[in-house]
């Protein structure tokens, strides 16, 4: 599965010229995933800061985890999979994947400048198909951390709304301070799923935690930790 090639195809489609200019100008960024992993951490889309390189590129999450310099985005994610004091290191069992691949820091632009237009929805659907196939065909995670509230709908969590997107059937397990925990029991029986060619999911019985983005303002008790993720992984294999 050549992710770069597929994304390049999207970025040369006719509808790109009907979308906000920053999408074409900034290109795309993607996490390189080529092996199965127990844990998947997902974001909504790559950020973009003034003076960032405008070239499209892929990055290796395992390399990112080994970087010593503190980063406000990746720092809290490292703590989701590594706890030196508790001797927990889940890094080699973990993958990262953004839901979409366009580059923008302000998430309101997704709602206000992309989702409100037919071309924008086509743009999102085309990316999301790639994302779902990466998850289903390559990563096949047992534990999924959806660390952005905006992206929960794309999993099918708000299936009563107009769009069900990837359309996973989610069975609620419990709510706790770190988020809402569900189990994937299958796919929603609907022609509205963005990838109808996926007839059966490889994620059956996987646990999915809908959490939220961790920032410097997040209360300590709400911060997701490697201890919690390790516990979820043990719960999956025990059951």
Express each pLDDT in 118-132 by its tens digit: 999 999 999 999 999
Distance CA 177, CA 10 (A): 39
List the CATH number of the domain containing 53: 3.40.470
Write down the pLDDT at residue 162: 67
Distance CA 114, CA 162 (A): 16
Distance CA 96, CA 237 (A): 21
For every residue of the chain, DSSP letters joined together read --HHHHHHHHTTSGGGGGS-HHHHHH-BEEE---S--SEEEEESS----TT---S-EEE-HHHHHH--S--TTHHHHHHHHEETTTTEE-GGGEEEEES--B--S-THHIIIIITTSHHHHHHHHHHHHHHHHIIIIII--SEEEE--GGGGGGGTTTTTSS--TT-EEEEEEEEETTEEEEEEEEE---TTSS-TT--S-TTTT-EEEE-----TTS-GGGS--HHHHHHHHHHHHH-
For residue 126, the number of C-alpha atoms closer than 13 Å in the C-beta half-sphere is 19
Can you read off the two tokens belonging to residue 191?
């022609």
pTM for this entry: 0.95
Counted domains in the chain: 1
Can you read off the two tokens belonging to residue 178?
């770190």
Write down the pLDDT at residue 156: 86
Confidence check: pLDDT of 161 > 70: no
Confidence check: pLDDT of 205 > 90: yes
Q: Beta 39-43 vs 143-146: how paired, if at all? A: parallel
| 145, β-bridge pairs | 41, 209
Residues spanned by the domain of 63: 3-238
173 contacts: CB under 8 Å, gap ≥ 6:
181, 182, 183, 207
Express each pLDDT in 47-104 by its tens digit: 998 888 889 999 999 999 999 888 889 999 999 999 999 999 999 999 999 999 999 9
Q: What rounded mean pLDDT belongs to the chain?
A: 93
Percentage with pLDDT > 90 across the chain? 77
- 195-231 burial code (b ≥16 CB/10 A, e <16): beebeebebeebbbbbbbebeeeeeeeebbbbebbbe
């Amino acid at each position: 599965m050549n992710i770069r090639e597929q994304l390049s195809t999207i970025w040369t489609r006719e509808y790109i010229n009907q979308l906000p200019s920053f999408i074409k100008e900034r290109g795309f960024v993607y996490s390189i995933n080529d092996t199965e992993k127990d844990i998947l951490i997902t974001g909504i889309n790559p950020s973009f800061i003034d003076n960032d390189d405008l070239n499209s590129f892929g990055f290796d999450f395992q390399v990112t985890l080994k970087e010593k310099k503190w980063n406000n985005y990746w720092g809290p994610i490292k703590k989701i999979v590594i706890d030196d004091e508790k001797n927990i290191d889940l890094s080699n069992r973990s993958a990262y994947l953004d839901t979409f691949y366009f580059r923008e820091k302000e998430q309101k632009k997704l709602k206000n400048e992309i989702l409100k237009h037919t071309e924008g929805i086509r743009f999102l659907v085309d990316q999301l198909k790639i994302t779902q196939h990466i998850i289903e065909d390559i990563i096949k995670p047992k534990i999924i951390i959806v660390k952005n509230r905006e992206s929960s709908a794309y999993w099918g969590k708000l299936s009563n709304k107009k769009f069900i997107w990837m359309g996973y059937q989610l069975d609620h397990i419990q709510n706790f301070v770190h988020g809402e925990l569900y189990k994937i029991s299958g796919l929603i029986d609907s022609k509205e799923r963005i990838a109808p060619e996926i007839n059966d999911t490889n994620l059956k019985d996987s646990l999915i935690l809908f959490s939220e983005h961790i920032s410097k303002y997040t209360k300590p008790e709400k911060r997701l930790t490697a201890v919690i993720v390790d516990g979820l992984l043990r719960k999956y294999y025990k059951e």
